[in-house]
Amino acid sequence: MKTWLEESRQLDMSNSRLRITAQKLTQSRQSLPARAAAVHDFVRRMPFAMAPNACDSTASEVLQRGAGDCYSKGLLFTALCRAADLPARMLFVRVRTDFLDGVLVARPDAITHAVGQVKIGARWWSTDGYVVDPLLFARAKELLRATGLRRGWGIVAGAAGQWDGQSMGIQQFRPAEMIAMHGVFDDVDAFRASGRHEPPDWFDTVRFTMASCLVNWRVARLRSDCFDVGRLAAEWA
């Protein structure tokens, strides 16, 4: 039976910095849910940012970079959980992209999204709450209230800001917005090797690089000191 605790090229738990980080985050936590929540909150505090090479990074490289998206932050979440002896894996689903309204123009109808899963006792709990960092989350909440929209700027309305390690913590889509479930894997490499991931051609790569730059620019604008919820809401109306 698979333990979901093994190391891989991308889940490089033997990296000293990653291993020490996991130990520091969890050594004072008495319960398994509290340990999972501590890992989650650490990854969540890292700024959200897209990078063209996110799918090829190792967990220690994401930790060194100090920022990431659903793929790279999910990879780090999984590795830190495993380094803390918490079985963890990545679930890949295809979801509608309405939650990206406000940060991505000319978005596709659907994308493949990575969700972290950690096993507490006999049950697997899913979360993507570590993807959107606290400041971006607060800005998105303000804009959703100002516009009355149900989703946008990276989250859905009603998304909880905290995760306790013993419940579902999905912030970026609702069940009705999931088109397909690709399955659970150790890491991004394993998902790509499964054949369920369609490799991008050169045009897709260029388009993704340009989209990443635009998303990061818009996210930086939301985080900036000159953030004006009224003005941005009016622009979106």
pLDDT tens readout for residues 137-149: 999 999 999 999 9
**DSSP assignment of 88-147:** EEEEEEEEESGGGTTT-TT--SEEEEEEEEEEETTEEEEE-TTSS-HHHHHHHHHHHHHH
Residue-level pLDDT at 197: 67
Domain that holds residue 33: 16-236
Residue 9 resides in a domain: no
Residue 1 resides in a domain: no
Task: Identify which has the larger pLDDT, 174 or 107.
Answer: 174
**How many separate domains does the chain show?**
1
Give 32-69 pLDDT, tens digit per residue: 999 999 999 999 999 999 887 778 999 999 999 999 99
Residue 6 resides in a domain: no
Q: Of 112-116, 146-150, 156-160, 230-234, which gets the smallest average pLDDT?
A: 230-234
Give which of 225, 48, 229 is closest to 148, Cα–Cα.
229
Task: Identify which has the larger pLDDT, 210 or 85.
Answer: 85
Residue 72 resides in a domain: yes
Please answer whether residues 178 and 97 qualify as being in contact, where contact means their C-beta atoms are separated by less than 8 angstroms: no
Residue 217 resides in a domain: yes
**DSSP assignment of 166-219:** SS-B--S--GGGEEEEEEEESSHHHHHHTT-S----HHHHHHHHHHHHHHHHHH
Q: What is the CATH number of the domain that holds 95?
A: 3.10.620
Residue 5 resides in a domain: no
Beta-carbon contacts of 91 under 8 Å, excluding residues fewer than 6 positions away, are: 114, 115, 116, 117, 126, 181, 183, 184
Q: Does this model's pTM top 0.95?
A: no
